[in-house]
């Protein structure tokens, strides 16, 4: 789900575009991976999963991407585009296909209360 590597080309029926945003601005630093400059490596097949009643869980270590410099309340917003499993998003060999994949956009947020070290 949270692909951040500059190595390999993931091949999946569902290209998941996601972003994390933090507010308020100015009291944290984005230390995540940015614009690799070059990407290389093998095509990596990724297993397709069907939606199920129980929610899927994908771990992500927030401190790999952000450093919170000042104690306070921060809102972290995850936005993603999720591909829908139908005939529009099958892997195709034809680059001239006019079929446009179906998708939905989802956004969720959490509020973090960052406290100084030693105050917890």
Report pLDDT digits (tens) over 61-74.
888 888 898 999 99
What are the C-alpha distances in Å from 106 to residues 48, 60, 80, 83?
A: 19, 17, 5, 11
pLDDT at site 77? 94
Of 5, 32, 16, 9, give the one whose Cα is nearest residue 85: 16
Q: Which residue has the higher pLDDT, 52 or 24?
A: 24
Q: Which pTM does this prediction carry?
A: 0.64
Q: Which three-class secondary structure string do you get for 48-71?
A: CCCCCCCCCCCCCCHHHCEEECCC
Average predicted confidence (pLDDT) for the chain: 76
pLDDT at site 110? 93
Of 20, 25, 33, give the one whose Cα is nearest residue 62: 20
Q: How confident is the model at residue 17 (pLDDT cuts 50, 70, 90)?
A: confident
């Amino acid at each position: 789900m949270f692909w951040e590597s500059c190595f390999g080309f993931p091949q999946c029926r569902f290209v998941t575009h996601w972003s994390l945003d933090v507010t308020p601005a100015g009291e944290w630093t984005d230390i995540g991976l940015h614009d690799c400059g070059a990407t290389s490596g093998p095509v990596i097949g990724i297993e397709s999963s069907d939606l199920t009643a129980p929610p899927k869980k994908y771990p992500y270590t927030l401190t790999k991407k952000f450093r919170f410099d000042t104690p306070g309340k921060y809102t972290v917003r995850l936005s993603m585009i999720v591909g829908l499993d139908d005939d529009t998003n099958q892997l195709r060999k034809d680059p001239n296909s006019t079929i446009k994949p179906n998708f939905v956009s989802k956004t969720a947020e959490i509020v973090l209360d960052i406290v100084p070290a030693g105050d917890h």
